[in-house]
A and B are shown apart, each in its own frame.
Chain A
Amino acid sequence: GESVGLHLPTLSVQEGDNSIINCAYSNSASDYFIWYKQESGKGPQFIIDIRSNMDKRQGQRVTVLLNKTVKHLSLQIAATQPGDSAVYFCAERTGRRALTFGSGTRLQVQP
């Protein structure tokens, strides 16, 4: 399979704990923010998105928080499970077209 990256910031958590993954974005004109999860050997998969006129959105076990004042996005995963181990990317969209991705954070879940 395809390796994701060898020099990513890593967050290590115990199974059952909550995880918080942070992301700083660059463009104040971005209208959507999206979190993707990439497991080893696979392409990224959509987790959750949030519009720029919102500051919080919840999904199943995940919550995304948006702070436009400091251009900061976070992904909170409740009751982290071994299957959550992956690299997580935030992405911002400006206009109708391309997404710009962050460099990613590796989440390691310890049993």
Chain B
Amino acid sequence: NAGVTQTPKFQVLKTGQSMTLQCAQDMNHEYMSWYRQDPGMGLRLIHYSVGAGITDQGEVPNGYNVSRSTTEDFPLRLLSAAPSQTSVYFCASSYLPPTGSGANVLTFGAGSRLTVL
């Protein structure tokens, strides 16, 4: 029972490089999302998806792309890394309850620390 798996755990990039953070979940969750966590700022939503083929922007989407070709995977792509993207990135997933019912309780991965020099 792996839950939400993120890779890599650590990555160092140079400004302008591109890379993909991988996220996979084995719980058949419809909802998947990416957050970044910076000191003193909590978790900010980058992009999210409510199902395969459907993605939407969160609070801080600029500089990131996502796709959702399968239910299990939700990769986050940095197109041209910048020092401002140095952060810890968390992927999270959940079932998507019907409107008006229970909250979608997120299951988080362990995080990926990205440093952009």
Contact = CB atoms under 8 A, between A and B. Distances in A.
Contact of B58 (A4, A8, A98): A98
Given A43-B110, A95-B99, A100-B59, A6 B42 contact: no
A2 B111 CA distance: 7
Contacts, number: 83
Nearest to B44: A101
Interface in A82-101: 89, 91, 93, 95-101
Contact of B103 (A4, A6, A34, A45): A34
A1 B90 CA distance: 13
Contacts of A36: 106
Nearest to B56: A97
Interface residues of B, number: 37
A82 to B, nearest CB: 22
21 contacts: A2-B113, A8-B40, A32-B102, A34-B103, A42-B111, A43-B92, A43-B110, A44-B90, A49-B102, A89-B43, A93-B104, A97-B50, A97-B56, A99-B106, A101-B35, A101-B42, A101-B43, A101-B44, A102-B42, A103-B41, A104-B42
Interface of B: 4, 31, 33, 35, 37-45, 48, 50, 56, 58-59, 88, 90, 92, 96-100, 102-111, 113
